[in-house]
Structure 1
Amino acid sequence: MTRRNAAIIFGGRSAEHDVSIMSARSVYESLDRKRYNPILVGIARDGKWWLQDHAKGFPVHVASTGSQIAFLPGAGGAALVHRRNEDYRIYHIDVVLPILHGPFGEDGVLQGVLETAQVPFVGCPVLASAICMDKQIAKRILRDAGLPIAQFLALTTREEVNFRFAQQTLHSPTLFVKPASLGSSIGVSKVHCESTFQAAVDLAFGYGSKVLVEAYVEGRELECAVLQDPERPTELLCSWPSEIIPNSQHAFFTYQAKSDAGGAITKAKADLDEALANRIQALSCETFKVMGCEALARVDFFMRSNGELLINEVNTLPSFTRSSMFPKMMKESGISYDVLVERLLEHAMKRYERAMASS
Structure 2
Amino acid sequence: MKQTVAVICGGRSGEHEVSLASAQSIVNALDRSRFNVLPIGIDREGAWWMGPAVIDNLRKGQKPYGQRVYFLPDPTCPGLVEESTSGRQLVSVDIFFPVLHGPNGEDGTIQGLFETANVPYVGCGVLASACGMDKAIMKALFAQSDLPQLPYLVVLRGRWETAPEQVLDDVENRLGYPCFVKPANMGSSVGITKANNRAELVGAFDDAVRYDRKLVVEKGINVREIEVSVLGNDEVAASLPGEIVPAHEFYDYDAKYANAASRLLIPAPLEATVTSCFQEMAIRAFRAVDGSGLSRVDFLVDKDNGEIYINEINTLPGFTSISMYPKLWAATGIAYEQLLTRLVDLALARHREKQRNATERLPRE
TM-score (norm 1): 0.93
Q: Which amino acid aligns with 2:23?
A: A
Question: 1:57 and 1:309, CA in 2 relative to 1: closer, same or farther beyond 3 A?
Answer: closer
Number of residues of Structure 1 aligned to a counterpart in Structure 2? 349
Identify the residue that residue 166 of structure 1 maps to in structure 2: 171
Matched, 1:224 2:224: no
Q: 1:277 aligns with which of 270, 275, 285?
A: 275
Q: Shift in Å at residue 196 of structure 1? A: 2.1
Identify the residue that residue 253 of structure 2 maps to in structure 1: 255
3-state SS, counterpart of residue 130 of structure 2 = helix
In structure 2, distance between residues paired with 1:196 and 1:251: 15
Q: 2:180 aligns with which of 176, 179, 195?
A: 176
3-state SS, counterpart of residue 276 of structure 1 = helix
Identify the residue that residue 208 of structure 1 maps to in structure 2: 212
- Note the 1:49-198 alignment, pairs <5 A: 49-52=48-51, 55=53, 59=57, 61=59, 65=64, 66-75=67-76, 77-83=78-84, 86-156=86-156, 157=158, 158-159=160-161, 160=163, 161-170=166-175, 172-198=176-202
In structure 1, distance between residues paired with 2:55 and 2:213: 38
In structure 2, distance between residues paired with 1:64 and 1:75: 33
Question: 1:210 and 1:56, CA in 2 relative to 1: closer, same or farther beyond 3 A?
Answer: closer
Identify the residue that residue 8 of structure 1 maps to in structure 2: 7
Q: Shift in Å at residue 70 of structure 1? A: 1.4
In structure 2, distance between residues paired with 1:24 and 1:151: 35
Given that 2:5 and 2:36 are in contact with CA atoms closer than 8 Å, whether structure 1 keeps it comes out as yes
Q: Which amino acid aligns with 2:347?
A: A
Given that 1:322 and 1:337 are in contact with CA atoms closer than 8 Å, whether structure 2 keeps it comes out as no
Q: Shift in Å at residue 132 of structure 1? A: 0.6
3-state SS, counterpart of residue 26 of structure 2 = helix
Q: Shift in Å at residue 164 of structure 1? A: 3.4
In structure 1, distance between residues paired with 2:212 and 2:29: 34
In structure 2, distance between residues paired with 1:347 and 1:38: 18
In structure 1, distance between residues paired with 2:129 and 2:234: 19
- The unaligned stretches of length 5 or more in structure 1 are none
Matched, 1:18 2:22: no
Q: Which amino acid aligns with 1:180?
A: A
Q: Which amino acid aligns with 1:322?
A: S
Q: Shift in Å at residue 59 of structure 1? A: 4.6
Q: Shift in Å at residue 58 of structure 1? A: 5.5
Given that 2:40 and 2:48 are in contact with CA atoms closer than 8 Å, whether structure 1 keeps it comes out as yes
In structure 2, distance between residues paired with 1:202 and 1:308: 32
Q: Shift in Å at residue 8 of structure 1? A: 0.5
Q: Shift in Å at residue 221 of structure 1? A: 0.4
In structure 2, distance between residues paired with 1:311 and 1:336: 27
Given that 1:72 and 1:80 are in contact with CA atoms closer than 8 Å, whether structure 2 keeps it comes out as no
Q: Shift in Å at residue 56 of structure 1? A: 8.2
Q: Which amino acid aligns with 1:193?
A: N
In structure 1, distance between residues paired with 2:251 and 2:207: 17
3-state SS, counterpart of residue 147 of structure 2 = coil
Identify the residue that residue 317 of structure 1 maps to in structure 2: 316
Q: Which amino acid aligns with 2:113?
A: V
In structure 2, distance between residues paired with 1:76 and 1:297: 30
In structure 2, distance between residues paired with 1:166 and 1:150: 14
- Note the 1:282-301 alignment, pairs <5 A: 282-301=280-299
Q: 1:264 aligns with which of 262, 267, 285?
A: 262
Q: Shift in Å at residue 63 of structure 1? A: 5.6
Identify the residue that residue 346 of structure 1 maps to in structure 2: 345
Given that 2:24 and 2:55 are in contact with CA atoms closer than 8 Å, whether structure 1 keeps it comes out as no
In structure 2, distance between residues paired with 1:285 and 1:218: 25
Which deviates more from structure 2 when the two are superposed, residues 6-15 or residues 190-199? 190-199
In structure 2, distance between residues paired with 1:276 and 1:77: 46
Which deviates more from structure 2 when the two are superposed, residues 22-31 or residues 189-198? 189-198
In structure 1, distance between residues paired with 2:69 and 2:274: 50
In structure 1, distance between residues paired with 2:321 and 2:249: 26
Question: 1:20 and 1:29, CA in 2 relative to 1: closer, same or farther beyond 3 A?
Answer: same
In structure 1, distance between residues paired with 2:22 and 2:178: 33
Question: 1:11 and 1:56, CA in 2 relative to 1: closer, same or farther beyond 3 A?
Answer: closer
In structure 2, distance between residues paired with 1:241 and 1:278: 9
Q: Shift in Å at residue 80 of structure 1? A: 1.7
Given that 1:76 and 1:119 are in contact with CA atoms closer than 8 Å, whether structure 2 keeps it comes out as no
Q: Which amino acid aligns with 2:173?
A: Q
Identify the residue that residue 46 of structure 2 maps to in structure 1: 47
In structure 1, distance between residues paired with 2:112 and 2:55: 29
Given that 1:70 and 1:81 are in contact with CA atoms closer than 8 Å, whether structure 2 keeps it comes out as no
TM-score (norm 2): 0.91
